[in-house]
């Protein structure tokens, strides 16, 4: 009799586990609305979604962890929460917004194009007594502009002209989105310079690093999302 109970309990747990997994998948925007949400990168601490919506397109109820929205174009969206309440959001090109974890359905009111940076896990604990490396915004405010800064992320807009030299600075783990592509030569405290060639629309994950750079002949325009 006891053996039967144990087997039954195990079966129930397996069913519940499968149900929870299926439920989580059903709440993934990239699963429920793949025509709107496209996974551009799935990195250790962040997932990047590209959202392209035409007026009238809808996405059923889905869930986001804490995330950053960066608008690549003007547009507007109507959200419906789990209780049925609706709210409209006007999206302005070049604007970065922070949104805490939420569940909602959405409808595109006017064409929109945006990037979503979904954070994974909690904020990293600060290391007591750690030296504060060179902040790019303080080292080179002419090239780095802060769009958003809170206790989880900092979003920077980087622009530079051909031939510009960027002083040595430090980033925590971060994501880049390249607007125009081009060539950049990176220099490091130790080791040889590294030449990097990017294409417009490239998304990349970078571990914490210190570097300087020399901008190639096409200039540079890059969005950086630093993870704290």
As its CATH architecture, domain 136-227 has Sandwich (2.60)
What is 151-204 written as a DSSP string? SSEEEEEEEE-TT-EEEEEEE-SEEEEESS-EEEEEE-SSS--EEEEE-TT-EE
Q: How far is CA 217 from CA 59, 73, 155, in A?
A: 42, 26, 25
Q: Which residues of 131-152 are buried (b: 16+ CB within 10 A; e: fewer)?
A: eeeeebeebbeebbeebbeeeb
Is the distance from CB of 60 to CB of 80 less than 8 angstroms? no
pLDDT at residue 57 tops 90? yes
CATH for 30-119, options being 1.10.375.10, 2.60.40.290, 2.60.120.10, 2.40.50.140? 2.60.120.10
Domain ranges of the chain: 30-119, 136-227
Q: What are phi and psi of 71, to 5 degrees?
A: -90, 120
Asked whether the beta carbons of 69 and 100 are under 8 A apart, the reply is no
Which tokens is 47 given?
A: 């997932």
Q: For the chain, how far is it from start to end, CA to CA, in angstroms? A: 54
Higher pLDDT, 6 or 69: 69
pLDDT tens digits for range 129-164: 555 679 999 999 999 999 999 999 999 999 999 999
Q: How far apart are CA 58 and CA 72, in angstroms?
A: 19
**Which of 43-52, 120-129, 173-182, 193-202 has the lowest average pLDDT?**
120-129
Q: How confident is the model at residue 3 (pLDDT cuts 50, 70, 90)?
A: very low
- E strand or H helix at 117: strand 112-119
pLDDT of 15 above 90: no
> Which tens digits make up the pLDDT trace of 93-117?
999 999 999 999 999 999 999 999 9
CA distance 197 to 114: 24
> How far, in Å, CA of 110 to CA of 149, rounded?
28
Structure tokens at 2: 């006891």
């Amino acid at each position: 009799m006891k053996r039967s109970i144990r087997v039954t309990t195990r079966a129930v747990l397996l069913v519940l586990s499968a149900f929870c997994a299926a439920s989580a998948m059903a709440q993934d925007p990239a699963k429920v609305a793949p025509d709107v949400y496209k996974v551009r990168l799935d990195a250790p601490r962040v997932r990047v979604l590209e959202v392209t919506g035409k007026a009238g397109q809808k996405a059923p109820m889905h869930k986001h962890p804490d995330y950053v929205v960066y608008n690549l174009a003007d547009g507007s969206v109507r959200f419906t929460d789990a209780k049925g309440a609706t709210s409209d959001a006007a999206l302005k090109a070049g604007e970065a917004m922070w949104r805490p974890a939420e569940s909602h359905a959405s409808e595109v009111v006017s064409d929109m194009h945006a990037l979503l940076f979904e954070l994974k896990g909690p904020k990293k604990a600060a290391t007591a007594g750690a030296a504060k490396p060179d902040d790019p915004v303080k080292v080179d405010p002419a090239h780095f502009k802060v769009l958003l800064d809170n206790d989880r992320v900092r979003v920077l807009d980087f622009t530079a002209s051909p031939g510009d030299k960027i002083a040595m600075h430090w980033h925590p783990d971060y994501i880049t989105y390249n607007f125009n592509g081009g060539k950049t030569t990176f220099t490091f405290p130790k080791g040889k310079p590294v030449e990097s060639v990017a294409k417009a629309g490239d998304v990349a994950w970078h571990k914490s690093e210190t570097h300087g750079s020399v901008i190639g002949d096409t200039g540079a325009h890059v969005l950086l999302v630093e993870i704290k």
